[in-house]
Amino acid sequence: MIRTLITISVVGFLLSIACIAGAIGLAGGPFSIRDRAKGWAVEHTEWGDHKRGRHGITITSDDGETTTRDFTWQGADHLDVSPSADIVYTQGPVAKLTIFGPTEALDNLRVRDGRIDYAGGYDNDDARLKIILTAPDVQAFDLAGSQKLVVESYKQEKLSLDISGDAQVSVKGVATSLRLDITGDGSADLADLTLDSAVVDISGNGQASLGPRESAKIDVSGDGVVKLTAKPRILTQDISGSGQVSQPGLPD
């Protein structure tokens, strides 16, 4: 009899815990699940705040927290990124900026006047961010360091790319004119960008592929390489060092 009562009590206790957990899940609101022995925790904030991000989920491990957060994009016509990051820009009518990365890095991140960088004094070389931006009229991109930028559905009169360090850029879309400046080991894949004219300046070991149809002015200093995927009607080039400019149908 006593053994039966103990069994019933244990089963009832376990059912109570399950019911409470289910009620929390149905009711929503903030909750957390932690396992100190395994060193992880999951926290959910239904209403959120600026720090967590609205409807955000933060996952904590022994290596620190990572989170996703929405930032306000102020409608600038340029994007200037300093931290190490993988960036996706899509031209669209409604502006939205979402950034994923370590919580501490996002806490120190500053977005202002088209520039994304860390607040003064903060530096984190190990943090690599994921930046997803949709905006209607960004026409200039400035990357300094270790970034990868993918631009989708671009359609503007002008496009300006300023690349330094070992940043990499890929652009698909349409532009009337291009200004491309690469300093260092950066690269630009613009073979899928329809262009009329281009001005290209490469210093160092940079590489670029592009296909302007009307005119191209190319300056290469160092070991840079420019691959033209179309033959422009007017081509002006100035090469110093061991740089190269190649055209379709001509030897490299």
Report the pLDDT value the prediction gives residue 52, as an integer from 0 to 100. 34
Length of the chain: 252
Report the pLDDT value the prediction gives residue 252, as an integer from 0 to 100. 52
Report the pLDDT value the prediction gives residue 121, as an integer from 0 to 100. 80
Domains of the chain from N-terminus onward: 139-244 (2.160.20.120)
What's the whole-model pTM score? 0.74
Distances (CA, A) of 189 to 5, 72, 211, 218: 73, 29, 10, 16
- State yes or no: pLDDT of 129 exceeds 80: yes
Q: Are 227 and 209 in contact (CB under 8 A)?
A: yes
pLDDT tens digits for 92-116?
999 999 999 999 999 999 999 999 9
Report the pLDDT value the prediction gives residue 250, as an integer from 0 to 100. 58
pLDDT tens digits for 49-83?
333 333 343 444 344 589 999 999 987 899 999 99
CA distance linking residue 146 with residue 41, whole number of Å: 31
